[in-house]
Structure 1
């Protein structure tokens, strides 16, 4: 009888972990498949598959650890609050049911995946197997991007449509013939993976782990994903500051950092080093332009949505619940409703003039900075969440993030993932890219499971 129960438990565990990998794959690989001719609706399959995976994981879970169960329930509660805010915003603004579903899934998916991982008792060989599969997916993305950087210029890899830059399609599994930020997503995933691989795969020779890290660095540079370096650098700074116990010690880090930034800025403005050319649009090629300051071109352009969104408010409730899911500058409103209009609009999706108004600014002469660097793009995740769901919706999303910070972050790598991703949310809409965010969720879940296993081993030694 005991052996029968053990066999059933083992089968249930293997089934859940395998389903999680399948759910992850449906978000990680569809761009690659559509790049080679698969139908574009494949990009939406994960929105259906992942909730099913989470449901099965919860219904079949045999997790007894109280802490693990408590984290799962807190995440479920937080997702319930976010759903309530999304529905309330939709009702106030008459947004379509499809808008509610898609916007909610774009924001909730990584937390749903974390719930599935928390509901699955991964340990020993099962944990190792799960980790190896995730690492294999990420390594494939990195190697494909490096191969693209070599094969695209010589015409041995299918190029982009519409004259898109080669750098934009040096994007691993996230390349898109129609144009996308796939190079940024792919480079971010590769750098996160390289750091995880370097620190956690101790059985792999050090020279191989270093080679992977150099490869990720090379991919980020060759794909012109300079904003990723900026975000990760700022994320690292924030991690350093969160670990400082005595405020005066911040000066030990702050002084050399400011010095490095000053030297870097001087090199951009006053030298002609070719290596730094991709970064010069962070300053300007045109010395007469006024970029920064309260009335600078960069400041006004970046804050465009902050000014446009409130101008469309017709009721005080919109300050609290926004203009509706997918109605402003989130990934859904700013991009999906343009890229997939022929698919989504006939199904009942709704649009709002705010999105078109912001795009009009981007495409106008005053939006030249946004077209040169996405660092100045006025469509980014944090302003989009506020625009769509208002202050209460933004608070609900931050509450979910706080659960992960308090309950799942077990080390500085986890903090780095969260903080650097938050920085990326001020640049573009990468915080709503399923492939990137589910990869982050996997790394967070893995580190929690690995930490738990280490604690259990230490307790029995």
Structure 2
């Protein structure tokens, strides 16, 4: 077949060389991979709305576990990049993911966990990184980047606007007398900590929109920031501000080499935090914020409850191998063992899901403590503890390794680094690192920023 008729290539002018350009084939692969990745994100971001309001079966909450890995693998193995550094980085991240899966299997064998436990544990931890790797493997033009970015922005605006509709139009605050602000959950309605997840997404989006979407008017970008801060107040998710404040202080310290300037920035954060504290206390005085400020002596009791997880997990060790491999996927205080197995037991039981006695024990401890239902800030079920409890120090070390790779090679600007740093701080407070909607949103933004910087660098070179 002559070169001009080769499938997937443009005709070649003999006077200009004989190199075929495989652009149509690349475009076809991009459309398939990027569309699948977008569908994977949508099925992780919106399933609660479909399940709660539109009465879709609860299995829809698991659909993204099929779409995202498939789309990511297709994108990775169809990549056209010739950049040796990018290939090496992708290979290192893939090796890390394989190691994480291997540790899952080893931990399951040691602790007699079910096969479905292995699959779900790996996907809860690895799916966001598969999404990031899939996005960065695509050959995106500026138009395609804008298309992907548009869907992320639409999704974030949908969540933010829906919170205000729930509060001021649908009046969800009148549905129950106790903690009605917990119902301001946006697109994550209705889940136990949906208000926390929704506010986390909104504040992350606000920082992204303000710092990176420069073509939009300044007043609009400022309005988005204030709307996100307002959501924290009306949903009483004070923990979110604490997490982002801690992440901001750490971020500044990592960037600053001048101690005097570092102290100045910390003082600015303290002043800003005090201002938001005053606003929350005076504009919404009936929230739990007032309760905790009047009962500071309970903070120590709350911290004792939170960190009791270590002694509880250790009390179930039956082998020295548990230090390295934990008690098994889904057997301790991660999202799988803490909530998913309990909430979806009817769906997971036929698949052979295994339950550990610790799952019941940890909830007994929470229920018996007066602070157990006061705030998720004191919950002993949190991300880093869950990874360590389920997979031991080997699993924790492997997850830290692949997280570091994401930080080092894919976080190309301040927003991306701050967003990932916030995820890590969330892991010390909640189980946010295993919340698919939040994590896929953050990783998608980081992936898009990576592409935007690549396009800019290519224009300058």
**Same fold, TM-score > 0.5, yes or no:** yes
Q: What is the number of residues matched between the two proteins?
A: 442
Deviations 1:343-373 (A, max 9, x none): 2122200011112111001111xx2223111
Residues 67-102 of structure 1: per-residue CA shift (max 9 Å, x gap): 332222121111011111111111110100000000
Q: TM-score, normalised by structure 1?
A: 0.90
2:184 alignment partner in structure 1: 170
Q: 2:345 aligns with which of 341, 345, 350?
A: 341
Please give the per-residue CA displacement for 1:215-261, whole angstroms capped at 9, x wherever unaligned.
Answer: 22212221111111110111111110000113454333345656777
| Equivalent residue number for residue 378 of structure 1 | 380
Question: Where do residues 129-208 of structure 1 align in structure 2 (5 Å cutoff)?
Answer: 129-153=147-171, 165-176=179-190, 179-208=191-220
Match of 2:314 in 1: 310
CA distance in 2, matches of 1:54, 1:227: 33
CA distance, structure 2, for counterparts of residue 319 and residue 362 of structure 1: 24
Corresponding residue for 2:137?
A: 119
Q: Does 1:209 align with 2:204?
A: no
Are 1:20 and 2:65 an aligned pair? no
C-alpha spacing 1:284/1:361, structure 2 compared with 1 (3 Å): farther
Pair 276,413 (structure 1): closer, same or farther in 2 beyond 3 Å: farther
> Retained in 2: the 8 A contact 1:153–1:166?
no
1:278 aligns with 2:278: no
Q: For the Cα contact (< 8 Å) 1:304–1:358, is it kept in 2?
A: no
Structure 2 stretches lacking a partner, 5+ long: 12-21
Structure 1 residue 208: Cα displacement: 1.6
After superposition, the Cα gap between the structure-2 partners of 1:203 and 1:425, relative to the gap in structure 1 and judged at 3 Å, is same
Q: What CA distance in whole angstroms lies between the structure 2 residues aligned with 1:173 and 1:345? A: 27
Q: 1:32 aligns with which of 49, 71, 84?
A: 49
Which of 61, 72, 90 is matched with 1:54 structurally? 72
Instruction: State which of 438, 441, 460 in structure 2 corresponds to 1:439.
Output: 441
Distance verdict in 2 for CA 1:276–1:427, change over 3 Å:
farther
1:215 and 1:261 mapped to 2: Cα distance?
17
Select 2:96's aligned residue among 58, 78, 85: 78
Please show how residues 400-415 of structure 1 align to structure 2 within 5 Å.
400-415=402-417
Unaligned 5+ runs, structure 1 = none
1:92 to 2:96 alignment: no
Alpha-carbon distance in 2 for matches of 1:394, 1:217: 33
CA distance in 1, matches of 2:182, 2:282: 24
Structure 1 CA distance, aligned partners of 2:169 and 2:276? 32
CA–CA distance in 1 between the matches of 2:451 and 2:275? 42
- Report how far residue 283 of structure 1 moved: 4.2
**In structure 1, C-alpha distance between the alignment counterparts of 2:24 and 2:298, rounded to whole Å:** 69
Q: State how far apart, in whole Å, the 2-side matches of 1:356 and 1:261 are.
A: 38
CA RMSD of aligned residues (A): 2.4
3-state SS of paired residue (2:355): coil
- The answer to whether the Cα contact below 8 Å between 1:281 and 1:372 also exists between their aligned partners in 2 is no
Task: Check whether the contact 2:41–2:440 (CA below 8 A) recurs between aligned residues.
Answer: yes
Measured after TM superposition, the shift of residue 342 of structure 1 is: 1.7
